[in-house]
A and B are shown apart, each in its own frame.
Chain A
Amino acid sequence: MIKKTLAVSLLTGAMALAGQAQAANTMVYCSEGSPEGFNAALTTSGTTMDASSRQIYNRLSQFKIGTTEVVPGLAESWDVSADGTEYTFHLRKGVDFHTTKYFTPGRQFTADDVLFTFDRQRDEKHPYHDVNGGTYEYFDGMDMGSLIKDIVKIDDYTVKFILNRPEAPFIANLAMDFASILSAEYADQLATSGKQTEMNWKPVGTGPFAFVQYKKDALIRYKAHDSYWGGRQDIDNLVFAITPDASVRYQKVKAGECHLMAYPNPADLGMMAKDSSINLMKREGLNVGYLGYNTVKPPFDNPKVRKALNMAINKDAIIDAVFNGVAQVAKNPLPPTIWSYNDKVVDDSYNPEMAKKMLMDAGVTSLKTNVWAMPVQRPYNPNARRMAELIQADWKKVGVDAEIVTYEWGEYLKRSKAGEHDSVLLGWTGDNGDPDNFLRVLLGCQAANGGANRANWCNKEFDDLLNKALATSDQAERTKLYEQAQLVFKREAPWATIAHSLVFKPVRKEVSGFKIDPLGGHYFEGVTLK
């Protein structure tokens, strides 16, 4: 009897709690993992950026949420010198930093905070440079160290960035997460008490939400920043419930334990679409999945061979089998959502007969080669092994015998960087919505032979167009140059462009105002709960 009563009471308690409604003003987001800290400058991980820069911090310029349009952030406006090497930022006045359990700001945001943020990353002698590891992968990766000659404080609300060369995407670069503005006053306070490392774990920013608590692998708690310069948020509390398994995240959204989840399983999308409590949002991702040929290895050094192999690949079949039909065939290295996308480019049609003939004409018979398949899942390629198998089967039809090669992720990156592959499956998700972030990073001569240009393709005509585009801030001019560059790319075919995936977000119906970020982030500014 006692046992029965205990069991019933336990079960009743459990039932009551499982059905417990979240307080109306607490937004719960089922995130996919734990952050590596709360300073986006120290990481390349999107999970860390979601947890830090996108909720807690602001940048001088920012992306308008849900777009790649750059709008003023902590800088109200900026002037660019005629030669494109001096950027003067006019800072917003009256911006408060967060007041938390561990820090009470004594002043508002000023130019000193901008200087602290960038000097920490670029000056190796800065007292905070080596704190928390001192690795600034984005700052270094975007070549900001060699680009920025000096940063000068004109007055408390004016800062001038002097560059070594003109760089058209500079304002977009400053909207990226690594450029999130930290509090110099807080840093000083921590330095005085010898607790500098806490800056990464007890963050203070100016953003819409203030940090409250982090429990590793369990949750992150934030509260609305009452005096946020962009207006106090409607939701009082924001919680990231860290839930690594995608199926479990979906169950939590279904049960009402989360309002929104990250990265759904493609296999669950059908069920989500039918679920009356869920609004399955979707949009095109700012990404591209591709097969890069090693263009310095014969016969892949011949554009005709590359073109023929492209024509042998049935991309529609790949979209169906690998992406469950929810992706778009890629014809350009740029996704269609980015400005300067050249829709006039004609894709290589799927034509095995023609491909066979072109290979014969190029003197390539009984080619034995390899296709490298990534061991990890990415939005631009959810199943590289399957994709490689389909390519292998397609190539077989034109007499090309391809072996599928795969390695552990770090090894894969290392060996493909060393150029051991014949062709490699990889992809890219944009960082700042600028075409340069795709074209130069992935296909520029500078990135060949050891950089992110795994095709090792260096074409002078293409590179000159990119360099010209980089030197002008006239967007119409840049658009023309990038459109031409895409034509050169198609003609030379260093890659088989495969797909641009769609991004899905299952959101409970009581949530409104959430926008899917084309750059892959999760922002909760402007989100409300019914």
Chain B
Amino acid sequence: MFSFLIHRLMILIPTFIGVTLAAFAFIRVIPGDPILVMAGERGITPERHAEMMTAFGFDKPIWEQYFSYIWQLLQGDLGTSIVTKQPVLEEFAALFPATIELSICALIVATVIGIPAGIIAAVKRGSFFDHSLMTLSLTGFSMPIFWWALLLIVFFSGFLGWTPVSGRISVMFYFDSVTGFMLIDSWLSGEEGAFKSALSHLILPSIALGTIPMAVFARQTRSAMLEILNEDFIKTARAKGLSNFRVIVVHAFRNALIPVITVIGLSVGVLLAGAILTETIFSWPGIGKWMVDSIFRRDYPVVQGGLILIAGIVMIINLTVDLCYGLIDPRIRNKR
């Protein structure tokens, strides 16, 4: 298992270098001068423009900028936003818990509904439930998040008045952040109704963000289960007289887990990408919206730093998923 871990870690190094290069190049490939974007219609004199380019180091050759950035990175410095003048890491740390909280809740929604629905659809293959589920999951998968999110808001918040429109908690609650996770902070605050308020604010964004992964999980679970249910060992288990529940959950589902875990791992990237739109619509103060704003403002250090951090997190999650394969299926870890 240890060598398996080392092997996986070694793969991460070139990937990480590639990410820094891509992150650095990506924002610079987009046309647009950050200083001119900042100045807007008002314009800026050529002298002032040159001064600011020098101050931010944008006048140096690209390769020099890249190597000084890498040198900074190695020292743990992700740079400072040219717009807010705040350290990138500090901004990221303040916003990331909100994205994590939303992503976890969306993942819970997707898993708790998607996987059982997939199992039932596989077991009742060809039934009305199966057909309905497949149609619904295709719809869920195809729906643009921003449209779906607005639809949820208009119906549940605007028309029915059941849920708050946006934000993380009612503005009436005022307490200092301890962990950055609103559910935990609201609970720790001891203020009456704060936890409920935080929870109610999570309902619609979690559904909006969780819809696509939910559809994917349901379809993946269904197809993996269908394959397993036709295997000989399932027939043997049934012939041994095991209960249907035991056959499906213990024998079939456990063996169907590998592809399901793969898509759950991959969906973390999808969730982070989806968070960009979901956060914008629900005024959710996470890293998705932060990145979008920074791209529009050509805030190079934030876009670079943000991409590297997000890529780093996705890599760690994929590593964890790889390790999970090893734990679930001994054949995988023993191959190395």
Interface residues of A (CB under 8 A from B): 10-11, 13-20, 22-23, 26, 28, 33-34, 36-37, 44, 132-133, 135, 137, 140-141, 197, 200-201, 212-213, 215-219, 221, 239, 241-245, 247-248, 251-252, 254-255, 257, 407-411, 413-414, 417, 426-428, 441, 447, 450-452
Q: What are the residues of chain B within 8 A of A10 when measuring CB–CB?
A: 199-200, 203
**Which listed residue, A215, A244, A413, touches B177 by the CB 8 Å rule?**
A215
Nearest 3 A-B pairs (CB), nearest first? A410-B32, A217-B285, A14-B200
B33 touches A14 (CB 8 A): no
Q: What are the residues of chain B within 8 A of A33 when measuring CB–CB?
A: 293
Q: What are the residues of chain A within 8 A of B153 when measuring CB–CB?
A: 248, 251
Rounded to whole angstroms, the CA-CA distance of A36 and B81 in the bound complex is: 10
A216 with B94, Cβ < 8 A, contacts A11-B162, A13-B199, A247-B150 known: yes
Q: What are the residues of chain A within 8 A of B86 when measuring CB–CB?
A: 201
Rounded to whole angstroms, the CA-CA distance of A451 and B36 in the bound complex is: 12
**Which listed residue, A135, A221, A257, A426, touches B164 by the CB 8 Å rule?**
A257
A245 with B165, Cβ < 8 A, contacts A18-B200, A452-B43 known: no
B94 touches A413 (CB 8 A): no
**Which listed residue, B30, B42, B98, touches A452 by the CB 8 Å rule?**
B42
A251 touches B283 (CB 8 A): no
A244 touches B41 (CB 8 A): no
CB distance from B279 to the nearest CB of A (A): 8
CB distance from A56 to the nearest CB of B (A): 17
Rounded to whole angstroms, the CA-CA distance of A15 and B164 in the bound complex is: 8
* In the assembled complex, B197 has its CB within 8 A of some CB on chain A: yes
Q: What are the residues of chain A within 8 A of B39 when measuring CB–CB?
A: 44, 137, 413
A17 touches B200 (CB 8 A): yes
**Which listed residue, B40, B161, B281, B283, touches A242 by the CB 8 Å rule?**
B283
A218 touches B33 (CB 8 A): no
Residue of B nearest to A33 (CB): B293
Task: Give the residues from 32 to 76 in chain B that come closer than 8 angstroms, CB to CB, to chain A.
Answer: 32-34, 36-46, 48, 52
* In the assembled complex, B101 has its CB within 8 A of some CB on chain A: no
Rounded to whole angstroms, the CA-CA distance of A215 and B193 in the bound complex is: 20
Q: What are the residues of chain B within 8 A of A407 when measuring CB–CB?
A: 31
* In the assembled complex, B95 has its CB within 8 A of some CB on chain A: yes
CB distance from A252 to the nearest CB of B (A): 5
B43 touches A17 (CB 8 A): no
A248 touches B283 (CB 8 A): yes
A410 touches B161 (CB 8 A): no
A28 with B32, Cβ < 8 A, contacts A19-B161, A257-B164 known: no
Residue of B nearest to A243 (CB): B283
Q: What are the residues of chain B within 8 A of A15 when measuring CB–CB?
A: 161-163
CB distance from A24 to the nearest CB of B (A): 12
Residue of B nearest to A252 (CB): B165
* In the assembled complex, B219 has its CB within 8 A of some CB on chain A: no
CB distance from A46 to the nearest CB of B (A): 10
A410 touches B171 (CB 8 A): no
CB distance from A35 to the nearest CB of B (A): 9
A251 touches B154 (CB 8 A): yes
Rounded to whole angstroms, the CA-CA distance of A208 and B168 in the bound complex is: 28
* In the assembled complex, B167 has its CB within 8 A of some CB on chain A: yes
Rounded to whole angstroms, the CA-CA distance of A137 and B49 in the bound complex is: 11
**Which listed residue, B31, B45, B52, B174, touches A408 by the CB 8 Å rule?**
B31
B165 touches A248 (CB 8 A): yes
Q: What are the residues of chain A within 8 A of B200 when measuring CB–CB?
A: 10, 13-14, 17-18
Q: What are the residues of chain B within 8 A of A44 when measuring CB–CB?
A: 38-40, 42
A410 with B46, Cβ < 8 A, contacts A17-B193, A217-B289, A218-B168 known: no
Q: What are the residues of chain A within 8 A of B95 when measuring CB–CB?
A: 216-217
A413 touches B172 (CB 8 A): no
A14 touches B164 (CB 8 A): yes
A197 touches B85 (CB 8 A): yes
Q: What are the residues of chain A within 8 A of B5 when measuring CB–CB?
A: none
**Which listed residue, A11, A135, A219, A247, touches B171 by the CB 8 Å rule?**
A219
Rounded to whole angstroms, the CA-CA distance of A427 and B42 in the bound complex is: 10
Residue of B nearest to A245 (CB): B281
CB distance from B174 to the nearest CB of A (A): 7
CB distance from B33 to the nearest CB of A (A): 5
Residue of B nearest to A380 (CB): B41
Q: What are the residues of chain A within 8 A of B196 when measuring CB–CB?
A: 13-14, 16-17
Q: What are the residues of chain A within 8 A of B38 when measuring CB–CB?
A: 44, 135, 137
B33 touches A252 (CB 8 A): no
A239 with B165, Cβ < 8 A, contacts A44-B39, A428-B41 known: no
